[in-house]
Every structure is written in C-alpha cells, then in structure tokens.
Amino acid sequence: MAATYKDAGVDLDVYAESMRRLPKLMHRTFSPRVLPSDGGFAGLFQLDFAGKLFARNYEQPVLVSGTDGVGTKLKIAQTTGVHDTVGIDLVAMCVNDLLCTGAEPLFFLDYIAMGKDDPSRLERVVKGISDGCVAGDMALLGGETAIMPDMYGEDDYDLAGFAVGVVEKKRLIDGKQISEGDVVLGIASSGLHSNGFSLVRKIIADAGLSWESKPAALGGKSLAEECLTPTRIYVSAIRSVQNHYRVKQVIHGLAHITGGGIEENLDRILPPGVDAEIDPKSWELPPIFRFLQETGGVADSEMRRVFNMGIGMAMVVSDFYAPSIQAQLAANGIQAAPIGQITFGTGKVRYV
C-alpha cells in the first residue's frame, strides 16, 4: 500500500478547511495601507497612505521590528481548552515592545505550529490574534501554520509573532533624554501578562490546586480565569499621549515590563549618570501576585525578578508633565501612578 501524507499525520483536506477560515479574521484588521494579495506568497503594505488626507509625509522614517511568543502560558490554554485569548497575548508581547521606541505599529505576522490540525481550535487562536491586532491598530498581514505531528503532541501548539512599526527618526524614544528629576510612571498591567508561567504552574501544582480552583484571595475568579487574562495592549493609550504633544518630546523613556521585572527592563533604557529609584509601596499589588507569593513561599527579590508585579509599562517623563500624562492615560482607561524618580547615579534601577 502506497504511503500518504495523511498516514504520516497531516491531512491536507483538513488543512485546507483551516485555511478557509482565516482570511475573514485577517481582513477585519486591514487599513487602506494594505494592498490586496490574497493567495500571494507575501503580504503587501505601503508605508504611507495613497490619499493626501491621511498622508504621513515621512521625512526620515525608521522601521522598527520585534518578535516574541507567549511561553508556557500556552500550557494552561491547552489544559483548559480556552484558546481565544492567547492570540491577544501574542500580539501584546510584540506590539508593546514596539511602543518603547515611539513607533506606530503597522502590521503583524504569526507562526503557529501544531501537532494535529484542528480547524476550530486554530480559528479560535487566530481570532485572538485578530482581536489583538484590532486593539493594537495594526494589520494581520499574513502568517504560517505548520502541522508537525512528530514535533508536538496532538493537543500541543506553539505561537510566535512578528511586528513591524515605523517612527520618524527625530521622534525616536531611546532613553537618551532621561535626566535627573524625571518621574517614573508605572502603568498598570492586567495581571500576570505572559511571563513567569513556569513558576506559576509549579506553584499551582505543588499546592495541589486545579485551574478550576477559586481561591478566596482572587475574589471568586478561578485560577484559569485569572491566569489566562490577556496581556494588556497599550497602543491607544500611549499613542494618545504622543499625539497630544506633537512638538515636545515629553516621553523620555518607555520600558515594557516583562521577564526580569521592573529592575532589569527599566535598566535597559537608562543612560549612564542616572539611577531610577523605585518605591515598591507606591502602587497596590494585584491579588494574584500576593496569592502566588504566599502559596509558593517566594522571596520578594524572586517575585520582582520574575513578574511585572502589577506594572506593565514604565514611562519616564518630565516631572512637569507627569500629572497631565497620568490624567490622559486615565482617560484612556489605563491607571498609572508615580512609582519612582530619576536621580544622579550609574545607570541602575534601585528599590528604595
């Protein structure tokens, strides 16, 4: 009997059904800058608008790119069968990095690897990616779905994302403007975001808890609901601040708080000659972090290094503009608070 691809674990008819479900999820994210290319080998995106009304008229455009994944948070989605939010996480982890340069997000690509094709599950994952792109004001321009039965178990899948943005060279945010006297605004996270889940899963397993458990500390939410809360996308809030100040560069630095916590991520943008002094008591710690720390007996230093501790982005701004920026963020539904200040130093972040 002749061998077939289906015998090897890849059903091309099922794959074709999966692909038929995706174009509508891409098209809802398109802007007039996307050139139609369905069925082509690559997505097409024009840097500027064709019409004069919305033309950017770039002088020195700089393309900005980034890539990321979701990590072992995917294991919780796969265990619980909740697949419609991890795509939002994928977009958020990439686009929030782009924002740290001052860039306007343009388009997004995804890579999905699965052990077994499942059109319904794939559609839910890509629906999340599409939702994230809508929230991030970027086009889902294309992607790749790979079915690899010998690489992954039947219920396993992995995600990778790739984002591209653009910024005028003179508006690039690189931390060089950070100076003594600036204020560090901590912009609230939506929870754990997409970092530290290997430790989260170990704490839950060691405590003998299930993802359906509803600890009193979480106010009635299950562990699955809390842990699968998608990473917050900060595009609209930060872009609104940038658009409010079209002449002055009031944002001196932006740091996406991911693995490594505030200390290791804010440290990346500090110029030599200054320190960032962070007061850990200046914001309220979300319940999930306190629950994990107490349940797992985790030291403060380890918590701060692994998790965002309730701060998804750190924004360094002039002290004069800090109250106004805080109010603008609040108007966009994002809470922020002064969590530290820039002082003379050696380019380090210190908790005080």
CATH code at 296? Answer: 3.90.650.10
Within 10 angstroms of residue 10's Cβ, the number of other Cβ atoms is 16
User: Can you give the pLDDT of all 352 residues of the chain as single tens digits?
Assistant: 788 888 888 899 999 999 999 999 999 999 999 998 887 899 999 999 877 878 889 999 999 999 999 999 999 999 999 999 999 999 999 999 999 999 999 999 999 999 999 999 999 999 999 999 999 999 999 999 999 999 999 999 999 999 999 999 999 999 999 999 999 999 999 999 999 999 999 999 999 999 999 999 999 999 999 999 999 999 999 999 999 988 889 999 999 999 999 999 999 999 999 999 999 999 999 999 999 999 999 999 999 999 999 999 999 999 999 999 999 999 999 999 999 999 999 999 999 9
**Same domain assignment for residues 128 and 262:** no
Is residue 46 in a domain?
yes
**Spatial CB neighbours of 282, under 8 Å, sequence gap ≥ 6:** 186, 337, 338, 339, 340
Is residue 5 in a domain?
no
- Please give the structure tokens belonging to residue 167: 């910024």
**Same domain assignment for residues 344 and 195:** yes
Is residue 4 in a domain?
no
**Same domain assignment for residues 238 and 165:** no
Q: For 6-60, how does the pLDDT look when each residue is reduced to its tens digit (9 = 90+)? A: 888 889 999 999 999 999 999 999 999 999 888 789 999 999 987 787 888 999 9
Q: Give the up-direction half-sphere exposure of residue 109: CA atoms within 13 A in the CB hemisphere.
A: 16
pLDDT at 274: 97
Is residue 127 in a domain?
yes
For residues 246 and 240, give the distance between their C-alpha atoms in angstroms, rounded to a whole number: 10
**Same domain assignment for residues 139 and 244:** no
**Same domain assignment for residues 77 and 109:** yes
- Please give the structure tokens belonging to residue 8: 């090897």
pLDDT at 38: 81
Q: Tell me which H or E stretch contains 58.
A: none
**Residue 69: alpha-carbon gap to chain centroid:** 9
**Same domain assignment for residues 211 and 260:** yes
**Same domain assignment for residues 243 and 338:** yes
If phi > 0 it is left, if psi is from -120 to 50 it is alpha, else beta; for residue 333 that is left
pLDDT at 8: 85
pTM: 0.96
For residues 167 and 343, give the distance between their C-alpha atoms in angstroms, rounded to a whole number: 29
- Please give the structure tokens belonging to residue 337: 């608070």
- Please give the structure tokens belonging to residue 19: 């692909």
**Same domain assignment for residues 37 and 157:** yes
Is residue 300 in a domain?
yes
**Spatial CB neighbours of 47, under 8 Å, sequence gap ≥ 6:** 33, 56, 58, 61, 106, 166
Query: At which of 115, 141, 171 does a domain end?
Result: 171
Strand order from edge to edge, sheet including 311-317? 251-256, 311-317, 183-188, 336-344, 274-278, 349-351
**Same domain assignment for residues 260 and 346:** yes
DSSP string, 303-352: HHHHS-TTEEEEEEE-TTTHHHHHHHHHHTT--EEEEEEEEESSS-EEE-
- Angle, alpha carbons 176-179-184 (nearest 5°): 100
Q: Among the residues of the chain, which ranges form H helices?
A: 12-20, 23-27, 73-80, 86-99, 119-135, 197-206, 223-227, 235-244, 261-266, 287-296, 300-306, 322-331
> Which range marks the domain in which residue 105 is found?
12-171
Is residue 3 in a domain?
no
pLDDT at 5: 84
Query: At which of 145, 171, 197 does a domain end?
Result: 171
The answer to whether 332 touches 236, Cβ cutoff 8 Å, is yes
Of the candidates 110, 114, 98, 119, the residue with the CA atom closest to the CA atom of residue 26:
110
Q: For 286-315, how does the pLDDT look when each residue is reduced to its tens digit (9 = 90+)? A: 999 999 999 999 999 999 999 999 999 999
pLDDT at 319: 94
Give the strand pairing for 61-69 and 157-168.
Answer: antiparallel
Is residue 294 in a domain?
yes
Is residue 203 in a domain?
yes
**Same domain assignment for residues 281 and 301:** yes
Query: At which of 171, 197, 218 does a domain end?
Result: 171
**Same domain assignment for residues 217 and 142:** no
Bridge partners, residue 114, by sequence: 147, 157
**Same domain assignment for residues 245 and 134:** no
Counting the structural domains of the chain, the total is 2
